[in-house]
Amino acid sequence: MIKTDVSNLTQLGADATNPTNPDEAVLERVTNSQKDADYLVRFTVPEFTSVCPLTGQPDFAHLMIDYVPGDWLVESKSLKLYLGSFRNHGAFHEDCTIGIAKRLVKEITPRWLRIGGYWYPRGGIPIDVFWQTGAPPQELWLPEQGVPSYRGRG
């Protein structure tokens, strides 16, 4: 049996409230017990929200986060709370999307990470933001993100 040390986790299994901003959010990690294998972890976030830094109006996105773990996995409850901390955070689409990816890279040092931010229209224009750390591992099974381009009524 493989055991992962979770004694350092403060949010999993405990009452936790959403942090008020991303800088205060704590991203926790657990040991990757399968670090000898290149495999993909995918987080699908269909209801991500933030606010426009100029108007304060809400912005909505469908985020797809794919990564190949190294020594660490991101603990999913802490990720949920971190992403929820953007709810009242004012930032442009690009800043939210790239900031999330860079924070994950900093905290868990994955072998590879990509993010797709599929933002719903603001001012009639959808803005999609994509970023990755480099080329994925050569033998990795990498499914498409499967989020269609915005079509509106057309």
pLDDT tens-digit map of 141-151: 999 999 888 77
pLDDT tens track for 132-141:
999 999 999 9
Q: Write down the catalytic residue from 38, 52, 95, 128.
A: 52
Note the pLDDT of residue 1: 36
pLDDT at 2: 41
Asked if residue 25 has pLDDT above 60, the reply is yes
Amino acid at 75: E
> Pick from 38, 20, 99: which is nearest to 65 by CA?
99
| Per-residue pLDDT at 11 | 58
Q: Give the 3-state secondary structure of residue 78.
A: helix
* Structure confidence at residue 122 (pLDDT): 82
Of 5, 36, 59, 95, the active-site residue reads: 59
* Contact (Cβ atoms closer than 8 angstroms) between residue 113 and residue 105: yes
Task: Give the rounded distance of the alpha carbon of 154 from its chain centre.
Answer: 30
For the segment 104-114, the average pLDDT, to the nearest whole number, is: 98
52 classed as catalytic: yes
Q: Which range has the worst mean pLDDT, 24-28, 120-124, 141-145?
A: 120-124
Q: What is the DSSP letter of 90?
A: B
Report pLDDT for 17. 79
Asked: is 29-132 a CATH 3.40.50.720 domain? The reply is: no
Mind listing the pLDDT tens digit for each residue in 28-87?
999 999 999 999 999 999 999 999 999 999 999 999 999 999 999 999 999 999 999 999
Distance CA 51, CA 68 (A): 30
Confidence at residue 20, expressed as pLDDT on a 0 to 100 scale: 85
**What does DSSP assign to residue 153?**
T
pLDDT computed for residue 19 by the predictor: 85
| Catalytic (active site) residue 59 | yes
